[in-house]
Amino acid sequence: MLTAKNLFQEIIDNDESFQLFCSIAASGEAQGGWENGRIAALVAPGLRDLAPKISRHGADEDKHGRIFHALMRKRGLEPVPVPPETDYTMLLEQRGIGLAHDKLRREEPLSEQDIVVYLSHSRVTEQRAADQMELLVKYFGDHPELGRAIHMIDNDEVNHLAYCHEELLRLNRQGHGRLIQRVLRECALAEIQVYRDVSLAVMSHMGRILRWPKAKAAVLAAGIHAVYAYERAAGWHKMVDLRMPERRDALGGPATPAPAF
C-alpha cells in the first residue's frame, strides 16, 4: 500500500535519495538562519525587544541545518547541490513573500511594517514546518537513526509557531491588525502554490533516483494536486488564524544546543 510512511521509508533507506532529502532540508534551514540573523540585526528601533527572539529563531534554524548535515555524515554522505525547482525559500522570495534578500543585505533599519511582514510570513511557513515534523514524529519518532533529530526539530518548530502567534497578537493589539490579516492571507495563498510545486519537483527527483514506475509517480502527483485543491479551497485558513499559544515566551531564552549532533 502506498502510504506516507512507506514513501518516506523508501526515501530514507536509499543513500542517494536520503542525501538529496537532507541536502534540501539543510539548505532551507541555513537560509532561514541567515534571514533571521539579518532581521535581528536590522529590527525596527521601536521593536528592539524582539531582536533576541529573532536571533534565537535563527540559531535554531542553523542548528537544524547542522543536524541534517550530521545525519548525512553518519552515512558517509556529502551534501549535494539543491535543484532550483526544489528550493522552497528561494521560490517564496521570488513570489515576493517575506522580506527581500536585497533589503536584508543593506544596513538600513527595518520598519515596523517590515517586522509585521516577517512575522506573518514566518507564521505561515512555520505552520507548514510544524505540520511536517508532527507527521515525521508520528511515523519515525522511534527510528534509531532519525528519531532523536526529529523530536528535537519538532520541539523547536512548535516553539517557533507559538512565538509567531504571540508576537502577531501583540502587534495586532498595537493597531497592525489589518496589515497582519492582509499579509497572512497573501502569504498563505502563495505558500500553498509554492509547496505544491516544490513537492512535485522533489517527488520527480525521488522517482528518478528510486526508479518509480510511471503509475506510482502519477498517483503521487495526483495526491499532491489533491492536497493543493483542498488547501486552496479551505485548508489555507489554518495558516492565518491567530490564537494565544500554550507555550508563552517560547523563544525567550538561548537556543537549545544539540550536542548529540
Q: Which domains does the chain have, with CATH numbers?
A: 4-80+87-239 (1.20.1260.10)
Question: Cα-atom radius of gyration of the chain, to the nearest Å?
Answer: 18
Number of CB atoms found within 10 A of residue 73's CB: 13
pLDDT of residue 201: 98
pLDDT category, 260, cuts 50, 70, 90?
A: low
pLDDT at 164 > cutoff 60: yes
Chain centre to alpha carbon of residue 32: 8
89 CB-near residues (< 8 Å, 6+ apart): 28, 31, 32, 35
pLDDT of residue 148: 95
In angstroms, the first-to-last Cα distance of the chain is 34
pLDDT of residue 3: 87
